[in-house]
Chains A and B, each alone.
Chain A
Amino acid sequence: MSSLKKSFNVRCRDFIHAGEASISVQQLLKQMHIDPVLIRRIAICGYEGEMNVVMHGGDGIYCVEINTDRIVLDISDKGPGIADIAKAMEKGFSTASDEYREMGFGAGMGLPNMKKNADEMIVESEPGCGTRVRMSFIIKQSTPT
């Protein structure tokens, strides 16, 4: 199977369409008969990454690359960036506003959820230069579907 790539624009504060990229990817992976357990892990990571862009990131791009042996999510934004990535990875740490917390976001679980569910995760960010999160998921050929 050759590589399949798709990308979606994600807009800052666009709660009307928030989550649609993740849902589209989930539907695509189902059509490709990817292991349901793997799809669920990707759904968690994709949703958390997408919502980070909606809430914190300014506009961004959500890309998925599907290969024979792995699936890669590459979510980047033009937002303010992360000053301390290690701190941001700590469970419970959040810079979300009160408005977002009242909506049930900002629990400080997003990045830890992504780290837990991805096989590999790389976060690149600098203040003022946006953020890029790449997550890889290995497709185990023997995994029952």
Chain B
Amino acid sequence: MQAADLAAQFNLTVVAGKKGLERTVSGGHCGDLLSEVMANAPVGCVWLTIQVHQNIIAVALLKEMAAIILTGGNRPDEETMAKADAEKIPVMVSDQRTYGLAGQLYSAGVV
């Protein structure tokens, strides 16, 4: 599954990093503590978080993530969107809470 498929299938709004939508999604991770994400997020994952500041893009790059989904109606900072565009890291937003969206992704085979 590509990041673009994820957005379409789960009704996610892509707000930045659209040039990276061909990235392959090979897993998932939920977390808001950046050190925990650095320690445990798998390569190629989609990351569900409520953190919106620009340093999430550095984390996504270093962990070679496929995409970031901001849950709970959170929206990225301007700086975050600019960096996501520059680094081609897709950032999507959802009004759903992390738990519910993660459950849907898991049921669809994003494990």
Contacts and interface: CB of A to CB of B under 8 A. Distances in A.
Contact of B43 (A15, A40, A47, A48): A40
Interface residues of A, number: 22
Interface string A22-35: 11001000000000
Nearest to B87: A23
Interface residues of B, number: 21
B58 A103 contact: no
A109 interface: yes
Nearest to B39: A113
B38 A44 contact: yes
Given A18-B55, A103-B51, A103-B53, A48 B35 contact: yes
A103 B38 contact: no
A15 B62 contact: no
A43 B34 contact: no
A107 B35 contact: yes
B33 interface: yes
B32 interface: yes
Interface of B: 32-39, 43, 49, 51, 53-55, 57-59, 61-63, 79
